[in-house]
């Protein structure tokens, strides 16, 4: 089934564009709306703590959704590059399914952490923050709709995360598919603006939703995705008291 879907998707450039556009829309809307419902429910029942707030700017949700749709358009265009890469044998995908998929997913998780950290540090260079990354930072109070709310150039840069694995090794199709799914799920938790583990210190492994909220509020520091390790290593963490 998955093999057939992949083979249809990458049969021509326009099929790649259409399939990725549908895939990312389904992913964005299902994860975002389900997340929004779940957080509201948990907040009511468990007194889930919000990270202290700036206020949303007028029309923020609408703008975040429009910008996310633009990012999905960019990801779909990148689908054409993937299709071309596969057609000319530059990229490779394996359609076998074995237990080997588990270490591959773990490897892609760590690759995603490194790729995001490197891109994010780059995006905070003065020129890029002023002309590109400010679009994402306009949301000082992030929301579940902020996950793909990027300048088109940032969407392109972050979307390149899939290129390197396809170039170096024939990862199983399931592992390749897991990358955008796990990335958006972590992204949702990072932008929900709830402190999901309020009893822990900011450096704690599980405190990533708090860390990314603080990144939006302070506009600097905490450049990592889920793990705090790269921020610790390169001393880019920000403490709440700073
Ligand atoms: Zn940033
Ligand atoms: Zn963010």
Query: What string of H, E and C letters represents the secondary structure of the chain?
Result: CHHHHHHHHCCCHHHHHHHHHHHHHHHHHHHHHHHHHHHHHHHHHHCCEECCCCCCCCCHHHHHHHHHHHHHHHHHHHHHHHHHHHHCCCCCEECCCCCCHHHHHHHHHHHHHHHHHHHHHHHCCHHHHHHHHHHHHCCCCCCHHHCCCCCHHHHHHHHHHHHHHHHHCCEEHHHHHHHHHHHHHHHHHHHCCEECCCCCCCCCCCCHHHHHHHHHHHCCCCCCCCCCHHHHHCCCCCCCCC
Q: Which of 6-20, 65-79, 126-140, 212-226 has the lowest mean pLDDT?
A: 212-226
Dist. CA 191 → ligand 2 center (Å): 6
Assign 197 a pLDDT band (cuts: 50, 70, 90).
confident
Q: How far is the CA of 230 from the centre of ligand 2 (A)?
A: 17
Which residues 6+ apart lie within 8 Å of 152 measured at CB?
Answer: 70, 71, 74
Instruction: Give the distance (Å) from ligand 2 centre to CA of residue 5.
Output: 31
State the chain's mean pLDDT as an integer.
92
Question: Measured in angstroms, how far is the CA atom of residue 136 from the centroid of ligand 2?
Answer: 6
* Total of domains in the chain: 1
Q: What is the pLDDT at residue 184?
A: 96
| Span 115-138, average pLDDT | 96
Q: How far is the CA of 94 from the centre of ligand 2 (A)?
A: 32
| 134: its two tokens | 């400010």
pLDDT of residue 210: 86
Q: How far is the CA of 229 from the centre of ligand 1 (A)?
A: 17
Measure the CA angle with vertex 103, ends 100 and 106; round to 5°: 145
Whether residue 241 is contained in a domain is answered as no
Average pLDDT for 92-100: 94
Of the listed ligands, the closest to the CA of 222 is 1
Ligand 2 geometric centre to CA of 216 (Å): 6
Q: What's the CA-to-centroid distance between 60 and ligand 1, angstroms?
A: 17
Region 223-241 average pLDDT? 82
pLDDT of residue 204: 79
Report the pLDDT value the prediction gives residue 206, as an integer from 0 to 100.
84
Rounded Cα gap, residues 117 and 211, in angstroms: 13
Q: Looking at the CA of 211, which ligand is closest?
A: 2
Greater pLDDT, 217 or 148? 148
116 Cα–ligand 2 center, Å: 11
Residue 78, φ and ψ in degrees, nearest 5: -65, -25
Which ligand lies nearest the alpha carbon of 143? 2
Flag whether pLDDT at 54 surpasses 70: no
Structural element, H or E, at residue 175: helix 173-191
Q: Is residue 188 part of a domain?
A: yes
Q: Is 242 a domain residue? A: no
Distance from residue 189's CA to the centre of ligand 2 (Å):
10
When pLDDT is averaged across residues 121-131 and rounded to a whole number, the result is 96
Nearest ligand to the CA of 146 is: 2
Structure confidence at residue 133 (pLDDT): 96
171-172 and 49-50 strand pairing: unpaired
pTM beyond 0.85, yes or no: yes
Give a yes or no: residue 100 inside a domain.
Answer: yes
For ligand 2, the distance from its centroid to the CA atom of residue 12, given in whole angstroms, is 33
The domain in which residue 78 lies consists of: 2-233
| 48 within domain boundaries | yes
How far, in Å, from the CA of 77 to the mean position of ligand 2?
22
Q: Among 29-38, 175-184, 197-206, whose mean pLDDT is lowest?
A: 197-206
Mean pLDDT of 182-198: 90
Contact 132, 154 (CB under 8 A): yes
Asked whether residue 65 is assigned to any structural domain, the reply reads yes
pLDDT classification of 239: cutoffs 50, 70, 90: low
pLDDT higher than threshold 70 for residue 242: no
- % of the chain beyond a pLDDT of 70: 98
pLDDT in tens, 15-47: 999 999 999 999 999 999 999 999 988 888 877
Whether 58 is covered by a domain: the verdict is yes
Residue 62 counted as domain residue? yes
What is the whole-number distance in angstroms between the Cα of residue 60 and the centre of ligand 2? 14
Six-digit token pair at 130? Answer: 């002023």
**98 CA → ligand 2 middle, Å:** 35
């Amino acid at each position: 089934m998955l093999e057939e879907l992949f083979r249809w998707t990458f049969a021509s450039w326009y099929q790649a564009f259409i399939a990725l556009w549908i895939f990312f829309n389904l992913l964005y809307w299902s994860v975002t709306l389900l997340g929004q419902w779940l957080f509201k429910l948990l907040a009511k029942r468990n007194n889930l703590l919000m990270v202290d707030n700036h206020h949303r700017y007028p029309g923020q949700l609408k703008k975040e959704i429009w910008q996310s749709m633009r990012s999905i358009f960019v990801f779909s265009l990148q689908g054409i590059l993937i299709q071309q890469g596969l057609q000319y044998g530059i990229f490779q995908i394996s359609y076998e399914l074995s237990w080997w998929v588990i270490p591959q997913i773990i490897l892609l998780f760590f690759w995603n952490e490194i790729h995001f950290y490197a891109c994010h540090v780059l995006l905070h260079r003065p020129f890029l923050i002023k002309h590109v990354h400010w679009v994402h930072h306009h949301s000082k109070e992030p929301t579940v709709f902020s996950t793909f709310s990027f300048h088109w150039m940032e969407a392109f840069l972050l979307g390149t995360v899939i290129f390197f694995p396809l170039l170096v090794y024939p990862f199983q199709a399931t592992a390749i598919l897991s990358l955008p799914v796990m990335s958006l799920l972590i992204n949702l938790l990072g932008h929900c603006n709830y402190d999901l583990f309020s009893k822990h210190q900011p450096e704690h492994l599980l405190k990533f939703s708090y860390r990314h909220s603080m990144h939006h509020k302070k506009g600097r520091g905490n450049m990592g995705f889920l793990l705090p390790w790269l921020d610790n290593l390169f001393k880019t963490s920000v403490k709440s008291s700073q």
